[in-house]
Amino acid sequence: MNTYRVIGCMTGTSCDGLDLAYIETNGADTLTLGPSETIPFEPSYRNTLRERVSLKAPVHYMDDELSKTIATFHAYHIKEFILKNQLTIDAIGFHGQSVWHDPANQLTVQLGDCQHLENLTGIQVVGQFRQNDVKNGGQGAPLVPIYHLALASKLEKPIAFLNIGGIANITFIGSNQSLIAGDTGPGNVLIDDWVAKHTGAPQDTNGEYAAKGSINQQLLTQWLHLPFFDQPFPKSLDRMAFHQVLDDCTPLSLEDGAATLTQLTVETIMKGIEILPEQPYQLVVCGGGCHNPTLMNGLQQQFKNLIGAFEIGYDPDAIEAQLMGYLAARFFKGLPSSFPTTTGVSAPTIAGELFKVKK
C-alpha cells in the first residue's frame, strides 16, 4: 500500500482534551490533511489524569483499569469521528497519556491499553511510540520533528517549529536540511497548574491573569540558572520536572505568579533558540500556547519573525494528532521516526508497535 488512511490520537501533558486528526500519507513525501477535532475532557476525568501524573510511583505499571478507561474513551470518540466524517480507516496511531518520563533510567510511561483500543474499534493500532527510542538510549521525545520536516518541505530554511503544550519543544531545520530538536522547558504546565490552584480554572484563558501581573525578576533570574536550560539539544522533560518552581511563587499574587511563569516560558524558549547552530529565518508556533496572546506577545518582542501555524495553513491544535497518524504510516513503511539529533537515540529508530485482532 502506497498511502495509509490513518486517524492519529493525542492527549498531551496539559491533560485538557483528546485531539483526533485524519490524514492520508505514505509516511514520507505524500501527505493529505483531513478533518480534525478536539474533545475537551470533563473536569473529573481531567483531574484523574492529573492526579496520576503527579503520583510519580510504580503504580503506573499496574493500572490496567485506568489504561482500559483511557482506551475506551478513545474508542468511543474515534468511532463517532469516523461516522461523522464518513471515513474509511486503515489504522489508528495512538499515543496514550504520558504519566511518567524518566529517560535517564530508560523509563517512559504512556497509559492506554492499545490492544483494548483495537478490540473496541476493530481497527489495527500502532502505539507505544516512545519505547524503542528509550531502549536504544534516546530521550523518547520529542517525536514530532520528522513531521515538522514534512510540513516545512516548501518553506524557507533555516526554520524552527515551536510546539507549546504542557512542555515546550522546538524543531530546527537547517539550511542544509539538518534536523535538531528537544524540549526547551515548561510551556503551559506551570501556568495552568498555578491558575488551577488559585481559581479552579484549567488555564489562564487568553493570558488574562498574566497580562494584569508584574514579573518578579528575582525569581525569574533564579530559575533561569537551573542546569537544564543550558544543556545542548537533544533533551526532554517530564511534566513535573520544574514543579518546585510553583513553591517559589507562593508569596506572589495570582496575577504576578502568572506573569512570572509566562515569562519563564518565553525566556527558556529564547535560550533554546540561542543554542541552535543557525538562527532560524522564521519561528512557527503551534500547540495550545499559540492561543495565549500574552505569551505570544512576549515571544514576538524577542523574535520578530514569529507566526502561528494557522498563518501558513496548518491547524496548530491538530499537528500532534496528525503526527501520530504519520508515525503509524512510517511504522508500516519501516521508516525511522527518531534520530540521534532529535532524541539522542544511538541510531535512527522506528517508532511504534503493532496491535492487531487477537484470534
Q: Average pLDDT per run of 10 along the chain, which is 359 residues long?
A: 93 89 96 97 90 69 82 98 98 94 85 95 97 94 95 95 95 95 96 95 96 98 96 92 94 98 98 96 95 97 95 94 98 97 97 86
Give the residue from 312, 328, 345 where a domain finishes: 312
| Interatomic CA distance for residues 26 and 1, integer angstroms | 8
What's the confidence (pLDDT) of residue 211?
A: 98
| Shared domain check, 172 and 32 | no
For position 69, what pLDDT does the model report? 94
Same domain, 101 and 151: no
Query: Which of 296, 312, 328 corresponds to the end of one domain?
Result: 312
State whether 162 and 288 are in the same domain.
yes
Spatial contact of 344 and 139, defined as CB atoms under 8 Å apart: yes
Strand arrangement of the beta sheet that strand 306-308 belongs to? 179-186, 167-173, 159-164, 282-286, 306-308
100 has which bridge partners?
Answer: 109
Q: What cell numbers appear for 94 in the block?
A: 495512538
- Write the CA distances from 247 to 77, 194, 233, integer angstroms: 38, 10, 28
Cis peptide before 158 (omega within 30 of 0): yes
Residue 108 confidence (pLDDT): 87
Domain co-membership, 80 together with 102? yes
pTM of the complete model: 0.93
Q: Do residue 65 and residue 130 come from a single domain?
A: yes
Find residue 353's DSSP bridge partners.
Answer: 127
Predicted pLDDT of residue 56: 64
Total domains in the fold of the chain = 2
Which residue range forms the structural domain that includes residue 260?
145-312
- On whether both 204 and 67 belong to a single domain, the answer is no
Helix, coil or strand: residue 73: helix
Q: What are the start-end ranges of the E strands in the chain?
A: 4-11, 17-25, 31-40, 91-102, 107-111, 125-127, 159-164, 167-173, 179-186, 282-286, 306-308, 353-355
For residue 83, count CB atoms less than 10 angstroms from its CB and return exposed for 0-12, middle for 13-18, buried for 19 or more.
Answer: exposed
pLDDT (0 to 100) of residue 62: 57
Shared-domain flag, residues 263 and 207:
yes
pLDDT at residue 87, as a whole number: 98
Domain CATH code at residue 224: 3.30.420.40
Cell of 168: 515546550
Residue indicated by cell numbers 530554511:
157
The region, left, alpha or beta by phi > 0 then psi within -120 to 50, assigned to residue 240 is alpha
Together in a domain, 137 and 151: no
pLDDT value of residue 103 = 85
Position 241: which residue type? A
Distance CA 272, CA 184 (A): 5
Kindly state whether residues 68 and 135 are assigned to the same domain: yes
Based on the fold, state whether residues 191 and 337 are members of the same structural domain. no
88 and 180: one domain? no
Q: What count of other Cβ atoms lies within 10 Å of the Cβ of residue 2?
A: 7
Pair 280, 185 in one domain: yes
